[in-house]
Amino acid sequence: MQPCSILAGCGGYLPERIVSNDELARTVDTSDEWIRERTGIRQRHFAAHHETTAFMGTAAARAALADAGATVDDVDAIILATSTPDQAFPATALRVQAALGVKRGFGFDLSAACAGFIYGLSVADGLIKARQATGVLVIGSEVYSRILNWQDRGTCVLFGDGAGAVFLRAAASDGEVDRRGILSTHIHAQGTLGDILYVDGAVGQPDHPGHLVMNGREVFRHAVTRLAEAVDEAMAANGLTHADIDWLVPHQANRRIIDAMGRKLSLPPERVVVTVDRHANTSAASVPLALAEARQDGRIRDGQLVLLEALGGGLTWGSALVRM
């Protein structure tokens, strides 16, 4: 019998420092009104010097393990999705492995921008199904405040820092469609769209570390189309309809995109998890942070069907359908 991946626990970490739109507007040519109306963002968290991608990822991973009732001895793989690793190598995942005290298995970083956590879930599910791992931490951790161009008001007001994590454990599958765990993942990329959202540097470049560059209107246009396709693909693959979905946990980039996805699924707003107002866009951390929040406050309950989706630079996008 092929094992399946149970989403056993979730956790998150947000830096202590909260920056409101009004505080940003003191140094950036913008306003609280513009940011709220165009994006739904009210505030974001920015990391202090010690709050690195590894530091925040470790805290989120610890919370996910505690939520799962698991220990570091249950972990045999760590996948860390990030565009802001602490170092070129070793992988930030392995800094987390060391900080947690995990003494076996393997780990690696995954670069798929804002879709990184969905990619990570897909890879982890594959590892579990292939019997290469039995307990996988999938982490999204980002410090975008370190790669923002503060002269570009079209991007610097949109992002925040933070980390989210889940712990997946292998369980025997009974082959039923309504079993617990990851029912499906679908991941996609279109490299020809790489220039609509990118960072113009890296440690291999003479002018590293680089800054985030985005054609917001183009990304917005693709997000609405691609994410709608991804939702339909997940429904079709599982023989389900929109009415079967209990919760949508979308990537938190823009309230207008989130609302469009909710309408597409005919989900009432109270069935869509929204954190963009308080976290802004935390890239690969946004979906696991939102999931952790809605699990911890009791909104998402065991047995419910949850659709996760995200789109980011690359272009990368995808979905995961999970029964909690």
The structure tokens 């699990």 sit at: 295
254 labelled catalytic: no
Distance, CA of 165 to CA of 65 (rounded, Å): 9
Who contacts 213 (Cβ-Cβ below 8 Å, separation ≥6)?
149, 152, 155, 197, 198, 199, 200
281 labelled catalytic: yes
Using DSSP bridges, classify how beta strands 305-312 and 247-250 pair: parallel, antiparallel or unpaired: parallel
Active-site residue, from 186, 222, 251, 279 = 251
Which of 163, 87, 100 lies closest to 135, judged by CA? Answer: 100
Encoded tokens for 211:
């800054």
The secondary element (H helix, E strand) that includes residue 104 is none
Cβ proximity to ligand UT7: between 181 and 312 the closer is 312
* Residues making contact with ligand UT7 (CB under 6 A): 30, 34-35, 38-39, 114, 153-154, 157-158, 216-217, 219-220, 223, 253-254, 257, 281, 311-312
Active-site residue, from 4, 10, 21, 114 = 114
- Closest separation in Å from C-beta 146 to ligand UT7: 16
- Closest separation in Å from C-beta 302 to ligand UT7: 30
Active-site residue, from 21, 156, 222, 281 = 281
Cβ proximity to ligand UT7: between 9 and 312 the closer is 312
- Closest separation in Å from C-beta 257 to ligand UT7: 6
Cβ proximity to ligand UT7: between 90 and 210 the closer is 210
What value, to the nearest 5°, has the Cα angle with vertex 37 and ends 144 and 310?
45
156 labelled catalytic: no
Distance, CA of 146 to CA of 37 (rounded, Å): 25
Cβ proximity to ligand UT7: between 99 and 213 the closer is 213
Which of 107, 60, 116 lies closest to 79, judged by CA? Answer: 107
- Closest separation in Å from C-beta 79 to ligand UT7: 20
The residues that are catalytic are 114, 251, 281
